Each structure stands twice: as C-alpha cells, then as structure tokens.
C-alpha cells in the first residue's frame, strides 16, 4: 500500500503556491486569515533589481497585519525573482504579474472582496493595476517614491486608498507625499510614520498598526465587512 498523499500546498499557508503566468509561473506564498475571512489581498514587493522579494520585511509584516484582521494574503515574486520565470520588464510586465496574482486569488476565493497593495516599486505597480480593476475594492501603498515615479493616476480614485510613508523616506518624505495627496481627489488616507526610513526599519509595529486600524476602523473597513473580534 502506497504512502498517503501529502497535504495540498494550495490549502496550507506554510507551503508555496505557483501561479500560472504568460511567461511560465510566479512563485508565491498564501497566508490564510486568522478567523473568519473578510477579504483576500495581494501584496507586491519592492524593486527586483535592488533585492526586492516577497520576503522583504515590510511586505512580510504587512501580510501578518492583514491576516490578523481577516484577510487571506498572497505574496508573490515578480518575474525573474526567486523561482518565478521570466525577467525584469521595467514595471510593464510586472503589472501583468500582479494581474495574474489577482486572478489566481479571486478564483481561489471568489466570494471575497479583493485588496491590492505593495511596497516601494511594488506600490507603484499595485496602485496602477488596482485603479484599473473594478474587482479591487481597496488599495494599499507603502513607501511610495514620488521622487522617482508619477502617481497622478490616483487622481479621482473612487475606492479607499491607504498610503503609509516613512517621514524620513529618501525617495519621498512624509511631507512630500502629503503635498502630493493634497492635489489628488478621492478617498485617500495618508499615515506618516515619524522617524522612519524608506524600509520602515525599527518601525514595523507602527506600520502594522496603521494597516490593522485602517482596515478595521478606518475607511478601508467598509468594503470588507465586520472585523474579527
């Protein structure tokens, strides 16, 4: 008699999943919600050419915070990172990767509303994809880089957006992002983390608190129903 089959990795957050993509596949990890799920989230990592992966601490800690308040969270590696196939595509192909991850997660949990977010380069990718996708109910951007990227596409956004920015971020200070947000129409909330650098080093608790509070008591709570007790 053969050995019993092993656990299905798609049902276990401690195991990787592989997402079909036009260039092959994306390496990913699914973290299941604590308690009854309220939503499903995709998180995008920082720049692939500068060491960014789905294991980057700010991305990992954000996934923890979202799982704590009822989200299934999918982190994935962009093309050319880890065991994801393909190669860096200057943000264009990476938007397709984010769409592939969203499609996979939506098919896995079709009844749950979607959240799309990212950190640094990943925030630019996630926000750009999210404003164009009617299935996405809320957006999350961490460590924006307004000194490098344009965010005018957020003007007039109609769904809740949370931006979390380190006050001392070298790619765009908290004050710089606040000035940017003032010129944008739409339900955008900015949380500025005092003394934090771009990577939120030594400030992960503040980052996680901002995420948990916004999606339980802030404007981001409404699309996802009641938060777990």
Per-residue pLDDT tens over the stretch 75-92: 999 999 999 999 999 999
Taking domain 13-222, whether its CATH number is 3.40.50.1820 is answered by yes
Q: Is the pLDDT of residue 118 over 70?
A: yes
Q: Which helix (H) or strand (E) holds 130?
A: helix 121-132
Closest CA to 133 of 175, 105, 91, 166: 105
191-227: per-residue pLDDT in tens? Answer: 999 999 999 999 999 999 999 999 999 999 999 998 7
Give the start-end residues of each E strand in 6-55.
16-21, 24-31, 39-44
- Cα atoms in the Cβ-side hemisphere of radius 13 Å centred on 98: 32
Q: What six digits make up the tokens of 187?
A: 């339900």
pLDDT per position as a tens digit, 2-54? 333 333 333 335 468 999 999 999 999 999 998 899 999 999 999 999 999 99
pTM of the model: 0.93
Of the candidates 22, 18, 108, 24, the residue with the CA atom closest to the CA atom of residue 54:
18
Phi and psi dihedrals of 17, rounded to 5?
A: -125, 160
List, in sequence order, every residue forming a beta bridge with 166; answer none if it has no partner. 193
- Could you state, in order of their start, the residue ranges of all structural domains in the chain? 13-222
- Name the burial class of residue 1, with classes exposed (0-12), middle (13-18) and buried (19+) by CB atoms within 10 angstroms of its CB: exposed
Sign, Cα dihedral of 100, 102, 103, 104: positive
């Amino acid at each position: 008699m053969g050995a019993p089959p092993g656990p299905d990795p798609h049902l276990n957050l401690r195991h990787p999943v592989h997402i079909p993509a036009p260039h092959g596949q994306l390496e990913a990890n699914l973290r299941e919600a604590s308690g009854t799920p309220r939503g499903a989230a995709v998180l995008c990592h920082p720049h692939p050419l500068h060491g960014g992966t789905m294991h980057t601490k700010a991305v990992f800690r954000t996934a923890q915070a979202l799982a704590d308040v009822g989200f299934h969270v999918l982190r994935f590696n962009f093309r050319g990172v880890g065991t994801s196939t393909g190669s860096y595509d200057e943000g264009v192909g990476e938007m397709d990767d984010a769409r592939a991850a969203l499609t996979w997660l939506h098919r896995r949990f079709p009844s749950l509303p979607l959240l799309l977010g990212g950190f640094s380069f990943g925030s630019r990718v996630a926000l750009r994809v999210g404003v164009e996708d009617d299935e996405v109910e809320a957006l999350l951007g961490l460590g924006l880089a307004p000194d490098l990227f344009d965010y005018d596409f957020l003007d007039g956004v109609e769904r809740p957006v949370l931006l979390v920015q380190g006050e001392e971020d070298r790619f765009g200070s908290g004050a710089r992002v606040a000035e940017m947000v003032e010129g944008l129409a739409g339900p955008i909330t900015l949380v500025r983390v005092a003394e934090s650098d771009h990577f939120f080093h030594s400030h992960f608790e503040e980052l996680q608190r901002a995420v948990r509070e916004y999606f339980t008591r802030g404007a981001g709570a409404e699309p996802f129903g009641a938060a777990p007790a």
